[in-house]
A and B are shown apart, each in its own frame.
Chain A
Amino acid sequence: MGVASRRDAVAAEIPRLRRYARALTGDDGEADDLIQDTLERALARLDQWRDGENPRKWLFSILHNLHVDGLRRKSRRPPHVGLDNVGVEHSAPAADGASGRDLDRALHLLSGEQRRVVLLVGLEGLSYAETAEVLAIPVGTVMSRLARGRDRLRSLMDYDGDKNGRAALRRVK
């Protein structure tokens, strides 16, 4: 495959990468910075993408590694307060309504590890095996993080208790 067709295949994945990064970070600016870095790294290494390999999996792996590196750098700086809410409130259009923001907030109460798995499987539709490869963890770990993450999300969204909460979530569809 030529360089240009590889580049086009990368470009075609950008909307999905941005969707995932936005859900993962909860912040539009941070998400786009992450995608910009992902894109630059991917384009500089187009020759490392093996023919026949799924570009989506390859790109999500690059994104994941960059995100982890970024968090590591950030953790050496003073704590950054209000990451979850400030970005979300700022960027969520009014039409998203309360239930959408609830979902954002609930997602950010999960651990980063759980959130990644819940989003890669639930939002991006990656298989367990693909998710394991992207995150470089065993499939069994994907499954246990998914179970814990979804369980937590479910109780945060009041799926198992308050019927109003549940009704609110259903309206999101």
Chain B
Amino acid sequence: MTAPRRISELELHALVDGELTAEERAEVEALLAASPTEQALARDFRDLNQALRARYAGRLEEPMPGPMQEVLARVPRRRSTRGMRRWSFAAALLIAVTAGLAGYFVRGLVAGAPRSEPSFVLNAIGAHSVYLPEVRHPVEVKADEEHLIRWLTRRVGAPIRAPSLVDRGWKLMGGRLLPDLGLPAAQFMYEDAAGRRLTLYIRKETGLNNTSFQFAERDGLGSFYWIDRPLAYALAGRLSREELMTLADTVYAQLEQR
């Protein structure tokens, strides 16, 4: 009878690290039963792994530093975990406030200043003010006409959707087609029980990069806007910034889902 073969050191590591097939493992473990030196080695290797995990376990629980949260919040937003939601909400709000302030100071002074709003946002706010007071003709095509979405999609040149904000108390009235520097743009209008109005402006955007939520304001009329190519969106209304942000969040979440 030949003496049993010795276990190689690499086999011991592979055993400890779960790299062996069931068959190989059975073989190595059988050999190990008769080799106390190798048994002790394998135990040491396991202990080392465990000591490493124990040593650095606390690192997994540490809160994420602010700069990491900020860089995450810059990517188009949609959170899935509750912890993330709080961070990105705070970070996005901070960015929105900063952008708003920067836009306020910079606007009109420097052509093409980095923080000034893209033109579509100003057009969206302008269009909101024009159609806001309309009683008889707030929209061109009513929400219940099924060709509304098809028509706007065809004219704007990219798939358009009208998110449902019913759960938040806003009813879709309908939409219209608008000119935006020679490009077709769509506007959806929503109304709440108190008669307040909210518009979602959508235009094709292929020149600018994707952005997270930004905030702009003109004469008390606020707008959260973002670019998710190929489309740019601006949600406008005479609402508090928080309320508008929550609605923008809902709109974004719905657009992303489908």
Question: Contact residues of A with B, CB < 8 Å?
Answer: 2-5, 7-8, 10-12, 14-16, 18-19, 22-23, 32, 35-36, 39-40, 43, 46, 96, 99-100, 103-104, 118-119, 121-123, 127-128, 143-144, 146-147, 150, 153-154, 157, 159-160, 169-170, 172-173
Number of residue pairs A-B, CB distance < 8 angstroms: 116
Contact of A39 with B72 in the complex, beta carbons under 8 Å: yes
Q: Assess whether A169 is in contact with B51, with CB atoms less than 8 Å apart.
A: yes
State whether B48 touches A4 (Cβ < 8 A): no
A43 contacts B10, C-beta separation under 8 Å: no
Please count how many residues in chain B sit with their CB below 8 Å of the partner chain's CB atoms.
41
When distances are taken between beta carbons in the complex, the residues of chain A under 8 Å from B62 are 15, 18
Give the residues in chain B near A154, CB-CB below 8 Å. Answer: 44-45, 48
Q: Contact check, A103 vs B51: say whether CB atoms are below 8 A apart.
A: yes
Task: Check if B78 is an interface residue, CB within 8 A of chain A.
Answer: yes
CB distance from B25 to the nearest CB of A (A): 15
State whether A128 and B19 are in contact (beta carbons under 8 Å apart), knowing that A22-B59, A32-B65, A146-B13 are contacts in the complex: yes
Contact (Cβ within 8 A) B78 A8: yes
Indicate which residue in A18, A123, A128 contacts B53 across the interface (CB closer than 8 Å). Answer: A123
Which B positions have Cβ atoms within 8 angstroms of A? 9-10, 13-14, 17-19, 44-45, 47-56, 59-62, 64-65, 67-68, 71-72, 74-81, 84, 210, 228, 256
CB-based nearest B residue for A104: B55
Complex CA gap A99/B51 in Å reads 9
**How near does chain A come to B68, taking the closest CB pair, in angstroms?**
6
User: A153 with B17: in contact, given A7-B75, A43-B72 (CB under 8 Å)?
Assistant: no
Say yes or no: A3 contacts B17, CB within 8 Å: no
Taken together as a complex, chains A and B put the C-alpha atoms of A86 and B67 apart, in Å, by 24
In the complex, how many angstroms separate the beta carbon of B40 from the nearest chain A beta carbon? 9
Query: In the assembled complex, which residues on chain A have CB atoms less than 8 Å from the CB atom of B61?
Result: 15
Taking A8-B79, A14-B68 as given, write out 7 further A-B residue pairs in contact, using a Cβ cutoff of 8 Å, ordered by the A residue number. Answer: A4-B77, A8-B84, A39-B71, A43-B72, A103-B55, A143-B14, A153-B48
The answer to whether B68 and A36 have CB atoms under 8 Å apart is yes
CB-CB < 8 A to B256: which residues of A? Answer: 2, 4
